[in-house]
Amino acid sequence: MKYYLVAGEASGDLHGANLMKALKQEDPKAEFRYFGGDLMQAEGGTLVKHYEDMAFMGFVEVVANLRTILKNMSLCKKDILANQPDVLVLIDFPGFNLKIAEFARKKGLLVCYYISPKVWAWNQKRVLRIKKSVDHLFCILPFEVEFYKTWGMDIDYVGNPLLDAVAAFTPNPDFLKNNMLLSGKKIIALLPGSRKQEISRLLPDMAKVAGRFTNFQFVIAGAPTFDAQYYAPYIGGIHIPVVFNATYDLLANAEAAIVASGTATLETALLNVPQVVVYKGNALTIGIAKMLVKIKFISLVNLIMDRAVVKELIQQDCDYHNISNELDKLVGLDDYRKQMLANYDLLDQRMGTPGASAKTAALIVKYASKK
C-alpha cells in the first residue's frame, strides 16, 4: 500500500521513522512519501519537504511566517492529490495537520492521526474538528482516553512511542572518546530544543550556568538541522562541545540535564536523568497562551504525573540564577535527586510498555485494508 506521512518537527521525524519501520514489518510492499526529516528519509521512500522549513512555534512566530506556512500547506495538498495514497498518516503538528486532515477527508482519503493534538490544553472544541476530519486517532498519553470519552469519541490508545525509542537504544561505549569528552569529569547535558527561537532564547542562560559549575563539563545536544557553528554566538565564548545525533548517549552519560520544554523532557525522564525544565517564548505569545491554556504544567513529565515532579522555569523565572539554583539541588542534594528518580519509576509504571509503533502500524494496515 501507499502511505503518505506528514511530520513537521524533530519529534515527529523520530516517531515517523519508527512508525515507517513498523509499517514495513506489517506491509513488506509499503511505499512511502512524506513531509519529515533525516530519520524518516533513512527508512526509504520520498522526502517531499524537510521539517526544518516548517517548524514555527508560537502565535506570533506563526503569523510572522504565515506566507511560508501557506506555501508548504499548498504543496502538501497538491502532492497528496497527485499521489493518491491508500492512507494519510498525520503525526502531531496540529496547526498544520488538522487543516490537511480536513482537506484530505473531503477528497475521500483515509485519514489516520498519530499522536493526538493537545486539544485538552486549550480550545477543546477542536475535538469536533477531529471527529469530522479524522477517521482513526491514535493517542500516546494515558489521560487522553478519558478526555476523548467525555466528548463521545472512541480512540485507539497505543502507548508512547518514546518507550520504543528508549528501549531500542544501545549505549555507545566510545561516546566520550569519539566526542573528545573527559571520562573523569561529570557531564551536564544541555538540550536547548530544535527550533531557532528556542535555541536563541534558552542557550545564552544555559551557557552562563556552565561558567559557574566549573567542576562539570557541559555538553549541548545539537539539533540535526544545524551545525556546531550555529551555536557559537549563543555560548558567549565559553567552550561547550556540541554533539549531534547522540542525544540518548549524552543523557546516558549525564549527571543532570537542563532541558527545553517538549518531548525531550519525557525522554530525559525515561533515561533516568534528573532535570530542570526551561522555556522562554515571545512575550505576546506567552500572554495569549496564559489566557487560553488550561493546564497546570508545561512539561510532559508533570502533565502525565499530574504533579510537579520536575522544576519548571518559565519566562521571567527562566534565568541564569534560577537555573543555577535548581541545578545545585540536582547535583548536590542527594535526597532531592533520589526523590526525582523515585518519581521517574512511578512515571515508568504509568507509561506502560514499549510497542506503540508496532501497535499503531498494525491498526493502520488493518483500517486501510478494510477501506
How far apart CA 352 and CA 167 sit, in angstroms, is 12
Looking at the fold, whether 344 and 366 belong to one and the same domain comes out as: no
Give the residue-averaged pLDDT of 112-140.
90
Looking at the fold, whether 45 and 180 belong to one and the same domain comes out as: no
Looking at the fold, whether 138 and 199 belong to one and the same domain comes out as: no
Task: Answer for the pair 368, 110: CB distance below 8 angstroms, yes or no.
Answer: yes
Looking at the fold, whether 321 and 365 belong to one and the same domain comes out as: no
Residue 28 falls inside a structural domain: yes
Q: Residue 189 CA to chain centroid, in angstroms?
A: 17
Domain holding 55, by residue range, is: 2-159+355-370
Q: Binning pLDDT at 50, 70 and 90, where does residue 130 land? A: very high
Looking at the fold, whether 132 and 188 belong to one and the same domain comes out as: no
In residues, how long is the chain?
371
Residue 29 falls inside a structural domain: yes
Give the residue-averaged pLDDT of 105-130.
90
Cell of 260: 527545553
Looking at the fold, whether 148 and 65 belong to one and the same domain comes out as: yes
Residue 164 falls inside a structural domain: no
Print the SS3 string covering the chain: CEEEEEECCHHHHHHHHHHHHHHHHHCCCCEEEEEECHHHHCCCCEEEEEHHHCCCCCHHHHHHCHHHHHHHHHHHHHHHHHHCCCEEEEECCHHHHHHHHHHHHHCCCCEEEECCCCCCCCCCCHHHHHHHHCCEEEECCCCHHHHHHHCCCCCEECCCHHHHHHHHCCCCCCHHHHCCCCCCCCEEEEECCCCHHHHHHHHHHHHHHHHHCCCCEEEEEECCCCCHHHHHHHHCCCCCCEEECCHHHHHHCEEEEEEECCHHHHHHHHCCCCEEEEECCCHHHHHHHHHHCCCCCCCHHHHHHCCCCCEEEEHHHCCHHHHHHHHHHHHHCHHHHHHHHHHHHHHHHHHCCCCHHHHHHHHHHHHHHHC
Residue 35 falls inside a structural domain: yes
Kindly report the pTM of this predicted structure.
Answer: 0.77
Structural domain total, the chain? 2
pLDDT of residue 295: 66
Looking at the fold, whether 362 and 340 belong to one and the same domain comes out as: no
Q: Binning pLDDT at 50, 70 and 90, where does residue 292 land? A: very low
Looking at the fold, whether 62 and 135 belong to one and the same domain comes out as: yes
Give the residue-averaged pLDDT of 45-60.
76
Q: Binning pLDDT at 50, 70 and 90, where does residue 264 land? A: very high
pLDDT of residue 281: 73
Looking at the fold, whether 200 and 341 belong to one and the same domain comes out as: yes
Residue 165 falls inside a structural domain: no
b/e 234-243 (16+ beta carbons within 10 angstroms → b): bbeeeebbbb
Cell of 242: 556540541
Is the per-residue pLDDT at 143 higher than 80? yes
Residue 168 falls inside a structural domain: no
Looking at the fold, whether 324 and 365 belong to one and the same domain comes out as: no
Give the residue-averaged pLDDT of 322-336.
97
Residue 340 falls inside a structural domain: yes
pLDDT digits over 150-177, tens only? 998 989 999 998 898 899 899 999 999 9
Looking at the fold, whether 214 and 347 belong to one and the same domain comes out as: yes
Looking at the fold, whether 208 and 280 belong to one and the same domain comes out as: yes
Residue 170 falls inside a structural domain: no
CATH code, 200: 3.40.50.2000
